[in-house]
Structure 1
Amino acid sequence: MYDIVVIVLVGVASGTLNAIGGGGTFVALPALVAFGVPPVAANAVSRIALAPGAVASAWVARRDAAPLGGTSTRALTTVSVVGGALGAALLLALPSESFDAALPWLLLFATLLLAFGGRLSRLMARAVGEDAVLGPRAVLAGQFVLALYGGYFGGAVGILMMALWSVGLRLDAAAGNPMRLVQLAAIYLGAAALFVFVPDVRGNLPLLLGMLGGAVAGGWAGAHLARRLSARLLKGSILTVAATTTTLYFLAA
């Protein structure tokens, strides 16, 4: 019972973080590994568990999600689902040792994006010029690559989406957040559709269900909280979790 309570709280925290700016992976994945789930299976379990929470966040934000760069919401979402599924297939096809070795570096990459993503986005925007705007095909191609990464690992994929849209479409972060939530849900659902067939996932069903329930509650609440809390406070909290998790993984490697 104690384990279930803990994993539900982990789900709440992960779902909330994903809704308010990203970073739920930094909580969910290490928690499952701490419960004895192998890293690849933990990645799969966390993606399935966080998918309904992402959907709950997307549902709250759906009316504010506007089409991007001349693409339709349906086309962008389709690309996200397909890319997420292919990224999940890549994770399952490669040897588990390759993911184990790459995990600390993926966490570090995601942490750096969380810390410097906004600054990098501004520097890139200056470099490409004020008039540079991605066409519909480029937007869809970029989204496919991000969805592929999101299906394979997913850490800070929401930050990457906002960076792409900010640089290529001059989209304000606040205006783009509803669409970010919709596309994050699509990527998670695409990956989860493959991960449900992994035997280790079914073997950790109590953990999966506990985290799933918590993530739905956290995703729903987080989508509302994101409209009220300080952006600086949110980013600081997420970055603290990310940096701590990354450091612990490198120390354990």
Structure 2
Amino acid sequence: MTGPEHLAVVAAGLGAGVLTSTVGVASLISFPVLIALGIPPVVANASNTVGLLPGALSGSFGYRRELREVPRPHTIAVVLTCAIGAIGGAALLLALPAEVFAAAAPWLILFTCLIVGVQPWISTWLRSRHEQPAGERTRMSPATTFFAALTGVYGGYFGAGAGVMMMAVLGLGLDLELRIVNALKTLALLAANLVASVIFVFVADLNLTAAALLAAGSVVGGYVGSHIGRRLPSGLLRALIVLAGITAAVLMLR
């Protein structure tokens, strides 16, 4: 890669880190950039997962106060469920022919755009539920466990939009405050990314330069993302993400 391309990947990591702390669709920025630089889709996806891990780590660190309010057995259950699912997703990415992921990626991006577009309605629904007095559902039911594991599979396979999905799964399945659900979601996806990254480091083909540049940008973006998110109108940010995602998907389908 040339110097300007290096800067583009760092900027993509920075933007992805910001999105991790805002709408939770980091890969919608970073993955298309790697594809545009000519990196094969499967290599780009694996490198993207590894490169965005520091951003997920800094985001989870920011929620440490909320996580202390959750009983440790419940936190462990959520993390393990998502991590085990991610093993399946990473295995699918590596086992299936590269052509399968290349064909699926544009549609996964479009699906993520749909998730981002309806996120305000999901958030409103969850908020209305959590304005009710807290119930007793603090443990994972079989249905919640299944859908959390399924979200982990998606996170290990592709990941864009997994944060919104996990927020909905945990918000609908557990009677916890929304801020705590958000903290659990962030930690669960960190676990999924960590598991997938370990697998990719040992088994997958990686573009280490791209992963390192993404990591440098994402760790900063994850830290400053919350500050930017407070100042930038959420509607404008969401519209820009959806527009960028649709554009990337259309270009990949050509």
Tell whether the structures are fold-level matches, with TM greater than 0.5: yes
Q: Residues 226-241 of structure 1 correspond to what in structure 2 (within 5 A)?
A: 226-227=229-230, 229-241=232-244
Q: Residues 1-253 of structure 1 correspond to what in structure 2 (within 5 A)?
A: 1-65=3-67, 66-67=69-70, 72-119=74-121, 136-138=140-142, 139-169=144-174, 173-198=178-203, 200-201=205-206, 204-227=207-230, 229-250=232-253, 252=254
CA distances 1:144-194 after superposition (whole Å, capped 9, x unpaired): 111011101111001111122333336565452222221221111111011
CA distances 1:189-248 after superposition (whole Å, capped 9, x unpaired): 1110111124530xx222221111111111111144445554334433332322322232
- 8 Å Cα contact 1:22/1:238 also seen in 2: no
Percent identity among equivalent residues? Answer: 34
Letter in 1 for 2:104: A
Change (3 A) 1:42 1:209: same
Distance between the aligned counterparts of 2:126 and 2:225, measured in 1? 30
Report the CA distance between 1:6 and its aligned residue: 1.4
- 8 Å Cα contact 2:83/2:152 also seen in 1: yes
Letter in 2 for 1:161: M
- 8 Å Cα contact 2:63/2:183 also seen in 1: yes
CA distances 1:50-86 after superposition (whole Å, capped 9, x unpaired): 0111111111112123439x96112211222222122
Distance between the aligned counterparts of 1:168 and 1:213, measured in 2? 35
Give the TM-score normalised by structure 1: 0.85
- 8 Å Cα contact 1:85/1:192 also seen in 2: no
Letter in 1 for 2:248: T
Distance between the aligned counterparts of 2:228 and 2:192, measured in 1? 23
Distance between the aligned counterparts of 1:17 and 1:77, measured in 2? 21
Change (3 A) 1:53 1:168: same
Letter in 1 for 2:42: V
Give the TM-score normalised by structure 2: 0.84
Unaligned runs of 5+ in 1: none
Distance between the aligned counterparts of 2:17 and 2:62, measured in 1? 13
Q: Please state whether the residue corresponding to 1:37 is helix, strand or coil.
A: coil
RMSD: 2.8
Distance between the aligned counterparts of 2:151 and 2:181, measured in 1? 16
Report the CA distance between 1:94 and its aligned residue: 0.9
User: What is the count of residue pairs matched by the alignment?
Assistant: 245
- 8 Å Cα contact 2:126/2:171 also seen in 1: no
Letter in 1 for 2:219: V
- 8 Å Cα contact 2:148/2:170 also seen in 1: no
* 212-221 or 77-86, which deviates more: 77-86
* 28-37 or 137-146, which deviates more: 137-146
Letter in 2 for 1:63: R
Change (3 A) 1:170 1:78: closer
- 8 Å Cα contact 1:53/1:217 also seen in 2: yes
